[in-house]
Amino acid sequence: MSEETAPPANGMDRAPAFGWLSLLSGALSILLIVATLQPAPKSAAGQLAYFAGHQGMVALEACTVLTWAVFSIPLAVALGQILRPKSPSFARAATLLTAAGILMLGFAIFAHVGALLSIVTAGGPANAADAVYQAAIWGSLSFYITDPGLMAMGLGQILFGWLAWRSKVLPDWTSVVGTIGGTAGLLTLAVYQTPALALVQLAAFGTWGIAAGVTLLRGRAG
């Protein structure tokens, strides 16, 4: 009986593809932070005027969010694969929580942008105050619909941080970064009407993407 060649452990036959996707996710996370930090009016009326005058740029930002969400799922899968040896069950939970959080967050941001763009493109209502009122509702609602995604993603990041600690797969500093970002995500509901903690979480996630991408491409994992 001829011996069969065993497949590479931990899914490392997909390491190059996962590595490039992880780097792309990290770069998109940084781009998303830059887009979030762009100065924009705080009032509902000001936001409507801003969206009306920058429809192309706002649509591009919405596409960036969707692209980030799509290409960040493979990063969660890659992290689950390379950190699986320490605890398969926790690695699976971390992957599912992070992936679900990414999808919810991407949908929430896109829904908010889409709602304001729809109000702008629908034309002026009989009462202009109605449009401002609707924009104000969506502005407040956006914090509530993004929080579940940020919190699920945050718990996933904490689990990944624990898996990375002393794993000899990723540097220990990534565990600290992941734990900080995950904690920020879990606390987003407690800090209302500010994106500060979400930005910390995205920065940590982007750092993980770059670190995981470099590790996979160097062939160090597994």
Query: Nearest Cα to 48, choosing from 107, 130, 146, 108?
Result: 130
The predicted model scores a pTM of 0.82
Query: Nearest Cα to 83, choosing from 175, 153, 167, 9?
Result: 167
Which residues have CB under 8 Å from 13's CB, separation 6+?
7
On the CB side of 179, CA atoms within 13 Å amount to 10
pLDDT one digit per residue (tens) for the chain, 222 residues = 444 444 444 444 557 778 888 899 999 999 888 888 877 777 888 888 888 888 888 888 888 888 999 989 988 988 998 899 889 999 999 999 999 999 999 998 888 888 888 888 877 665 667 888 888 888 888 888 889 999 999 999 999 999 999 888 888 899 999 999 999 999 988 776 677 888 999 999 999 999 888 888 887 544
Instruction: Give exposure, 88-112, as e/b (b: 16+ Cβ within 10 Å).
Output: eebbeebbebbbbbbbbbbbbbbbb
